[in-house]
Amino acid sequence: MTPVRDLTELDAPGLAIELGLTAEEYDKIVDILGRVPSKTELYMYSLMWSEHCSYKTSKAFLKQFPTEGDHVLQGPGENAGVISAGDGWAVAFKMESHNHPSAIHPFHGAGTGLGGCARDIFAMGARPIAFVGSSRFGSLASEHQQWLFTEATKGMVDYSRGFRVPFVAGETYFDDAYEGNCLINAMAIGQLREEDLIRAQATGVGNLVVLIGGKTGREGIGGASVLASADFGDVAEGESPVVEVTGVLGDPDEGRRLSEACLELQSAGLLIGLGDLGAAGLTSSASEMAARAGNGIEIDVATVPLKEEGMEPFEIMVSETQERMLAVVEPDNLEAVVAICAKWELPTTVIGKVTDTGNFVVKKGNELHGEMPAGSLAEDAPPVTRAESRPTYLDELNAFDTGSLAHPAGVADLNKTLLDLLGSTNLSSRAWASNQAADIAQERVVLGPGNDAAVVRIGDEDSMRAIAISADCNGRYVYLDPYCGSQIALVEAARNVSCVGAEPAAITDCLNFGNPEKPEVFWTFTQSIKGLADGCRALGIPVISGNVSFYNESGGNAIYPTPVIGLVGLLDSVDEIKTLDFKDEGDVIILIGETKEELGGSEYLSVVHGVSAGTIPALDLELEVDVQKVVRKLIAQDLIKSAHDCSDGGIAVALAESALAGAIGATVVLDDDLAPHASLFSETQSRIIVTCDGADAEKVLEELHDAQVPYSVIGEVGGSRLMIEGVIDLPLSDLGVAHGDALGDILGA
């Protein structure tokens, strides 16, 4: 082959800087290659060594996470994490961000965020069975934020519908901190037999590298590196100035057919390895697959089917065109692979082969455009050391005296406060979520949106096994205390799963932060990682996959640090699950845990006083473990009828939600010696409201006593009003009107 030397010692460093590489990184590339890199090589390194692909800033800190556990089959390092779920079944799941593309074109950006996660799942040999979304926007008083919220939501639902996989859970929050940068985090969950687990590795010298899916275009060129530091705060409604540069255009039906084809190929034993073409396209998938196997790989870009003529080799190698997969196939199986893909109307093209050189070779016919050690692309990005310092604003914010905002104790005023909280954008009904996805196949869904956690059946048609899924994070808490706030995100996800009776098994995460080059931002990141790592060890929950998203800021203003936790728990039988709704007249209401005056960072402060400050609720991890454990035990023994996490909005909001869900009221006495507004709206952690039949109350209390957790009998289910002695007296009809579906009205749901 004839080597292409299209860059000189003079122009190569300039292109490197233009592509986002540092001078030091360029020098390292020269050292690795022993020569001036070609244009194709520079583009490939610039993408693979970008923050988005290499995690060069965060990788060292992520090593703090526990990644092994009783259920773990595959931890970090593959397309998705995988856990054993019993009876030979396994569950694969992964959460990723698509924040920057969604800020430009929310409909396609959010939709293809789901598509990328789905490809990560079936790349492991798992059938996608559920989607989860976690999103953040600015205040809905802004028309621009309404547009972002509406388009992003519809984009995710549209992709879900086209892929024929249901949305089962999620969270959506609104705060001025996200005005300049929305967050769109997507999670996909799939099931597989343990023996069908496949990994993205290019093994077997001489095996063929096969591109499956649509033609390659210029979408996404430079996406991972350009978008990581872009400022999109001023993009107007309907504008998409760099849609063709961000690779945000997807086809959910093609994605579904791609999934079906790959699963059929796996079932037939025709795949040696399978990788998703996401960020950096062919470059990332091929280099990672080769590096994992310790092999080399050779690709001829002249064989790659193109959407348009004249594409240069570097464009083909870094294109982020959606709905494509890279497979490694034995030559004798090629004909069968082509036939199966043709059945699903998918092009299949041999574009290269596995070699024993350890090098990633890019050629165009007889022209050599690149030859690099595959591992240097996938694994050798120089780590970046960042300065960090505790933000000075924390002293003032944490010192804020929440007690100085005394609330009048009058019943009428507190009634209004509860109604205001229930109708706020962060606590109002999320019925729009289930309404939007009502026509998507729901056969496996036992509990969907609106519950503490979703429950999805796994296994064959007769299986009773299920998983519970929750996604959680209170960014305001993390802003005020990155270490403890991150742990609260973790324990709330686990608490929600425990409330339906499932055993928390593992998490995926999506760590959203501002510019890590700012010492104060980077400090929040390192504290968050430490908090999560310590929390995971205390709860015995490993981290098996995840994503880091930096540079989420606009106009110099960073988002709240938002480490979203996606947690999956295991259930032996769907018959064991409990829900949050009050059930029957006369049932006893018990509060597990105790309420303290902890209003810092609360929804009450935000909605009623317009303040985001104070000291956030304390967290006793040992108590949290004990509370969740005893609730799961009570559910397993069928001693309680309902369980509901008490968190955002406090006990008053939790009681109202359970009453509305069950269409039955309650009479409650809160005997905690706190000021009425603190008693009602404090967000003290490690609290769960449960109900039981009166005949079972004594046994329930015995179990709570033996577990050595705080508890109190606070009331009785019944009637058509929510009455909290001395402070709240409202008919369910008023609660329902306040809780409403304001977000659904915006969506037109």
Q: How buried is 745 (Cβ within 10 angstroms: 0-12 exposed, 13-18 middle, 19+ buried)?
A: exposed
Q: What are the domain boundaries of the chain? A: 1-58+198-381, 68-197+438-563, 414-428+578-749
- How far apart, in whole angstroms, are the C-alpha atoms of residue 461 and residue 448? 19
Taking only the tens place, the pLDDT of each residue in 253-285 is: 999 999 999 999 999 999 999 999 988 999 999
Calpha distance 533→511 (Å, rounded): 13
pLDDT band at 249 (very low <50, low <70, confident <90, very high): confident
pLDDT tens track for 475-493: 999 999 999 999 999 999 9
> Who's near 438: CB < 8 A, 6+ residues apart?
none
Residues 491, 567: Cα–Cα separation, whole Å: 10
| Residue 742 clears pLDDT 90, i.e. is over it | no
On average, the pLDDT of the chain sits at 92
Contact 549, 513 (CB under 8 A): yes
E strands, 225-304, are 273-276, 296-300
User: What backbone torsions phi and psi does residue 602 show, to the nearest 5 degrees?
Assistant: -80, 160
Would the pLDDT of 435 be above 90? no
Q: Is 705 a catalytic residue?
A: no
- The whole model's pTM is what? 0.94
Q: Quick one: pLDDT at residue 14?
A: 94
Strands 208-213, 711-717: pairing kind? unpaired
Q: Would you state the pLDDT for residue 550? A: 96
Q: Are 314 and 377 in contact (CB under 8 A)?
A: no
pLDDT one-digit tens code per residue, 609-649? 999 999 999 999 999 999 999 999 999 999 999 999 999 99
Structure tokens at 252: 């959910």
What are the C-alpha distances in Å from 521 to residues 551, 558, 560, 739?
10, 8, 10, 36
- Would you say residue 433 has pLDDT above 70? no
Q: Exposed e or buried b for every residue in 33-68, given b needs 16+ CB within 10 A? A: beebbbbbbbbbbbbbbbbbbbbbbbeebbeebbbe
Active-site residue identified among 71, 98, 369, 407: 98
Please determine, for residue 222, whether its predicted confidence score (pLDDT) is greater than 70: no
What's the mean pLDDT in 182-206?
A: 95
- The predicted model gives 721-749 an average pLDDT of 89
Confidence of residue 225 (pLDDT cuts 50, 70, 90): very low
Number of other CB atoms surrounding residue 720 within 10 Å: 11
Give yes or no for residue 235 having a pLDDT over 50.
no
Q: What CATH superfamily is the domain 414-428+578-749? A: PurM-like C-terminal domain (3.90.650.10)
| 644: annotated active-site residue | no
Which amino acid, residue 130? A
Which of 361, 515, 364, 305 is closest to 44 using CA atoms? 361
Q: What is the DSSP letter of 403?
A: G
Answer for the pair 252, 117: CB distance below 8 angstroms, yes or no: no
Asked if the domains 1-58+198-381 and 414-428+578-749 are classified in one and the same CATH topology, the answer is: yes
- pLDDT reported for residue 746: 75
CA 19, distance to chain mean position in Å, is 28
Per-residue model confidence (pLDDT) at position 439: 67
The CATH number of 1-58+198-381, from 3.40.1350.10, 3.40.980.10, 3.90.650.10, 3.30.60.50, is 3.90.650.10
Rounded to 5 degrees, φ, ψ at 317 are -75, -25
568-601 pLDDT, tens digit per residue, is 999 999 999 999 999 999 999 999 999 999 999 9
pLDDT tens column, 385-423: 999 999 999 999 999 988 887 776 666 799 999 999 999
Q: Which residue has the tokens 């969907």?
A: 448
- List pLDDT tens digits, range 493-550: 999 999 999 999 999 999 999 999 999 999 999 999 999 999 999 999 999 999 999 9
Is residue 156 within 8 A of residue 167, CB to CB? The reply is yes
Class of 68-197+438-563 in CATH: alpha beta
